[in-house]
Amino acid sequence: MLCWDVETLAKGYDILRSTMPFRRWGLPPSSDVVFQVSRDETTDGKFIAADRKIIISQKAHHRLESMLRTMAHEMVHLYIWRKGSKDRAEHGAEFKKLARLVCKHHGFEEATF
């Protein structure tokens, strides 16, 4: 089983940030984002806007691909928050549109994104 730490999460974020569509979105560098590893088995990941924090669950992710998929998911939330979207639904129409784009570029299954 892989063990995540905040450095690994930050590197995963940076890798994704350097790829499409993220590199067009103007997301902040990893040094401006707080990363946290949780042991929550019920939540894969979470973005907390007030703290500009991305939390990834150690217990929910046993593979790198899974962790990166969740990181990408939380990066979509970060992007929507940064641009001040009026679509405040957590997984509303704007999120779904952007998620489809991320899945297309990265080969993630939309159903698990």
pLDDT digits (tens, 9 = 90+) for 41-73: 899 999 999 999 999 999 888 899 999 999 999
Cα separation, 3 vs 99, whole angstroms: 26
Q: For the residues 89-93, what does the mean pLDDT come to?
A: 84
What is this structure's pTM?
A: 0.94
Share above pLDDT 70 across residues of the chain, in percent, rounded to a whole number? 96
pLDDT of residue 86: 73
Number of other CB atoms surrounding residue 18 within 10 Å? 9
Residue range 6-112 in CATH 3.30.2010.10: yes
User: What would the pLDDT profile of 24-34 be if each residue is shown by its tens digit?
Assistant: 999 999 999 99
Report phi then psi at 39, rounded to 5: -115, 15
Q: Report whether pLDDT(87) > 80.
A: no
CA–CA gap between residue 10 and residue 29 (Å, rounded): 9
